[in-house]
Structure 1
Amino acid sequence: MTVSLEQLRRCHVAVDLGAARTRVYVKGMGLVVDQPSVAAVNTRNGALIAVGEFAEQMTGRTPDYIRVMRPVSGGTVVDIDMAQRMLRHLLGEKLRRQLRRKPRLRAAACTPHEADPLAQRATVETLVGLGARRVELVDTLIAAAVGCGLPVEQPTATMIMMCGAATTQVAVLSLGSIVTAARIPVGGEAVDHAVIQHLRHQHELMLPSQSVRPLQIALSENGLTLQGPSTTEIHGRDVATGLARSVRVDTAAVRDAIHTPLTAVLDGIGRILRDCPPDLVADLADRGIMMVGGSALLPGLDQMLRDSTGMPVHIAERPDVCAVQGLGEMMEGNVASMVLSPLTA
């Protein structure tokens, strides 16, 4: 953990700036913001038109002078000014007024594992621009592990897999720290892209909008599992004629298409286990892997991990909000730290 629990207890607000969604937790109030990390801007005058869900609905449906932007990519702020404007509107005037009453506003934020100093500085500057006097940074993996109830402070191994939109982070935790971890540049967006390319090449079909997760349209009702439907009907646009067309898609073929990007995730888990001490690997054989993050809900992904690793795989109760909930638990003082005091003769 980058900071101590005592420092986090002094914070008033926690922010999880994700590539897909932005979440804000206010001390004493709980989760107050859970919206897509999207903003729509008028390029003629620079005015902000919409943020959150409404801006996401505008993707692919705007005239030339309206640009839909994502100021966060892979858990890193790539446009500080736009991220600040987006956060201001997501919080709303009433909540911002309440936060401004704090004499020395402290904020906590999640950062990806082994984020470089520039990425950390971008997150700090984003929150400082909103009025925070001090910003504490916490590793996303530790925050998510706390949020899903893993005993991270105990001397036993726990493995967590953070399935994000742009990246997948895997780590083994023990005694409140990361023993070994890997950051894999494959996430939900790569899986979506694999499905889009499969539909384009095999069926010459384009989906109405790439902003809508294709898996939610094409593979509903657990279509990626062996027990799901064998075929699914999809509506889209013909590549050649541009006319609307419907096709029946073999879900087994789509399941094979997404295995290619997910192979990198399985390789990353293998590297983690090889670098992990044998005693901790023995613990993992019983405890298994805890999946968190929005892409953890991908149908069939947990079963694929079970088949490949031979370990139990669990999905958190609310995998998408585990990181910000973990920050909130630490802010509220609901997490007790394990103090390792030096022995005296």
Structure 2
Amino acid sequence: MTASLDQLRRCHFAVDLGAARSRVYIKGSGLVVDQPSVAAVNTRTGALIAVGELAERMNGRTPDYIRVVRPVSGGSVVDIEMAQRMLRQLIGDRMRRTLRRKPFLRAAACTPHGSDPLARRATIETLVGLGARRVELVDTLIAAAVGCELPVERPEATMVMVCGAAATQLAVLSLGSIVTAQRVPVGGEAVDHAIVQHLRHQHELMLPSQSVRPLQVALSGNGLTAQGPAFTDIHGRDVATGLARSVRVNTAAVRDAIQTPLTAILDGVGKVLRECPPDLVADLADRGIVMVGGSALLPGLDQMLRQATGMPVNIAERPDVCAIEGLGAMMEGRIQPLELHKLTR
């Protein structure tokens, strides 16, 4: 964690800019924004038409002069100006006026583990454009661990897995710091892409951009295990004729198709455990892995991890908002650091 708890207590608002959703936490008000990181722009005039959920529903349904953009990709800001415009619209005039009354506005932000200086600088400039005079950066892994109430400040091992849209981050934490960590460039988007490619190659069917999630829901229940639903009907467009068509998809074949991206996540878990000291691994044998992030709700992923590692695997109560809630808890002063008393001779 690059920012201390004392510095975070001075912050007035916190932002978690994710590849899928953007969240804003205001001190004293709680979580005020939880919307998709999407904006719709009129390319003729440059005007911002919609942001958040409304812009996401426009994806794939707009005329040529309206473009749906994502200013955040891979957990990093790729379009600073558009990200600022999107956040201003999401926060709203009332909240922005409240923040402007602060004499020295401070902000906190989550950054993916191992992000390069350019990505961190883009996050800082985005919040400076909103009026922040100082920006504190916190590793997403630590913020997520605090948000799901793990004892990160104690000399005990805790393992957290942040399953995002663009990447999966894993870490073993102890005494408020990261002992070992790994960032795997595989997330929910990779699983969606694997499903789309499977249907295109095996059934010659092109899926609309918003039809992948219903297919994942069809795998619910026992999810990725063989006890899940056998078949499900999917509607899309025929690759050859371009006409609307429905196919009956074998969910077992879909489960096999998404095994490849999920295998990379399992390899990342193994690498983190191999680099971890033996004493901490012994702690993890009892406590296991805590999964957070929106993609943690992928049906059956926890069962796969449990079978591959032999350790307990638990999903946080609200996995999608753990990181921003962790930042909020540190800003509000609900997290107390471990106090070490000086030894007397």
Which interval holds the TM-score relative to the shorter structure? over 0.9
1:266-285 Cα deviation digits (max 9, x unpaired): 11111101100000000111
What amino acid is the match of 1:28? G
What amino acid is the match of 1:248? R
Distance in 2 (CA, whole Å) between partners of 1:82 and 1:289 is: 36
Equivalent residues in 2 for 1:168-317, closer than 5 Å: 168-209=168-209, 213=213, 215-216=215-216, 218-317=218-317
What amino acid is the match of 1:85? R
Distance in 1 (CA, whole Å) between partners of 2:326 and 2:61 is: 36
Name 2:323's counterpart in structure 1.
Answer: 323
Distance in 1 (CA, whole Å) between partners of 2:246 and 2:289 is: 39
Question: Is the CA contact (8 Å cut-off) linking 2:156 and 2:175 kept in structure 1?
Answer: yes
Distance in 2 (CA, whole Å) between partners of 1:4 and 1:117 is: 19
SS in 1 for 2:137: strand
Distance in 2 (CA, whole Å) between partners of 1:208 and 1:299 is: 21
What amino acid is the match of 1:304? M
Name 1:95's counterpart in structure 2.
Answer: 95
SS in 2 for 1:166: coil
Distance in 2 (CA, whole Å) between partners of 1:216 and 1:106 is: 40
Summarize the Cα distance change of 1:81–1:341 in structure 2 as closer, same or farther, 3 Å threshold.
farther
Summarize the Cα distance change of 1:42–1:211 in structure 2 as closer, same or farther, 3 Å threshold.
farther
Name 2:54's counterpart in structure 1.
Answer: 54
Distance in 2 (CA, whole Å) between partners of 1:197 and 1:281 is: 38
Name 1:77's counterpart in structure 2.
Answer: 77
Q: Which aligned segments of 4 or more residues in structure 1 are displaced greater than 4 angstroms?
A: 220-223
1:294-325 Cα deviation digits (max 9, x unpaired): 00000010000011111100000000000000
Name 2:166's counterpart in structure 1.
Answer: 166
Summarize the Cα distance change of 1:12–1:157 in structure 2 as closer, same or farther, 3 Å threshold.
same
What amino acid is the match of 1:180? T
What amino acid is the match of 1:45? T
Question: Is the CA contact (8 Å cut-off) linking 1:233 and 1:248 kept in structure 2?
Answer: yes
Distance in 2 (CA, whole Å) between partners of 1:112 and 1:209 is: 26
Matched, 1:105 2:126: no
What amino acid is the match of 2:166? A
SS in 1 for 2:317: coil
Greater CA drift, 223-232 or 71-80:
223-232
Distance in 1 (CA, whole Å) between partners of 2:75 and 2:246 is: 36
Name 1:44's counterpart in structure 2.
Answer: 44
SS in 2 for 1:34: strand
Distance in 2 (CA, whole Å) between partners of 1:290 and 1:175 is: 17
Distance in 2 (CA, whole Å) between partners of 1:320 and 1:160 is: 13
Distance in 2 (CA, whole Å) between partners of 1:181 and 1:7 is: 24
SS in 2 for 1:151: coil
Question: Is the CA contact (8 Å cut-off) linking 2:155 and 2:174 kept in structure 1?
Answer: yes
Distance in 2 (CA, whole Å) between partners of 1:310 and 1:88 is: 46
Shift of 1:205: 1.0
User: Structure 2: any 5+ residue segments left out of the alignment?
Assistant: none
Shift of 1:225: 3.3
Name 2:338's counterpart in structure 1.
Answer: 338
Distance in 2 (CA, whole Å) between partners of 1:88 and 1:243 is: 41
What amino acid is the match of 1:255? R
The number of residues matched between the two structures is 345
1:38-61 Cα deviation digits (max 9, x unpaired): 001111121111100000001111
What amino acid is the match of 1:18? G
Question: Is the CA contact (8 Å cut-off) linking 1:218 and 1:234 kept in structure 2?
Answer: no
Shift of 1:226: 2.8
Question: Is the CA contact (8 Å cut-off) linking 2:11 and 2:108 kept in structure 1?
Answer: yes
SS in 2 for 1:41: strand
User: Structure 1: any 5+ residue segments left out of the alignment?
Assistant: none
Name 2:19's counterpart in structure 1.
Answer: 19
1:171-206 Cα deviation digits (max 9, x unpaired): 000000000000000000000000001111111111
Question: Is the CA contact (8 Å cut-off) linking 1:296 and 1:319 kept in structure 2?
Answer: yes
| RMSD, aligned α-carbons | 1.3
Distance in 1 (CA, whole Å) between partners of 2:63 and 2:77 is: 26
1:72-114 Cα deviation digits (max 9, x unpaired): 0121111000000000000011110111111111100000012
1:241-293 Cα deviation digits (max 9, x unpaired): 11111111111111111000111111111110110000000011110000000
Question: Is the CA contact (8 Å cut-off) linking 1:195 and 1:214 kept in structure 2?
Answer: no
Equivalent residues in 2 for 1:110-189, closer than 5 Å: 110-189=110-189
User: Please, what TM-score do these two structures have when normalized by structure 2?
Assistant: 0.97
1:107-156 Cα deviation digits (max 9, x unpaired): 00000012111111110100000001111000000000000011001111
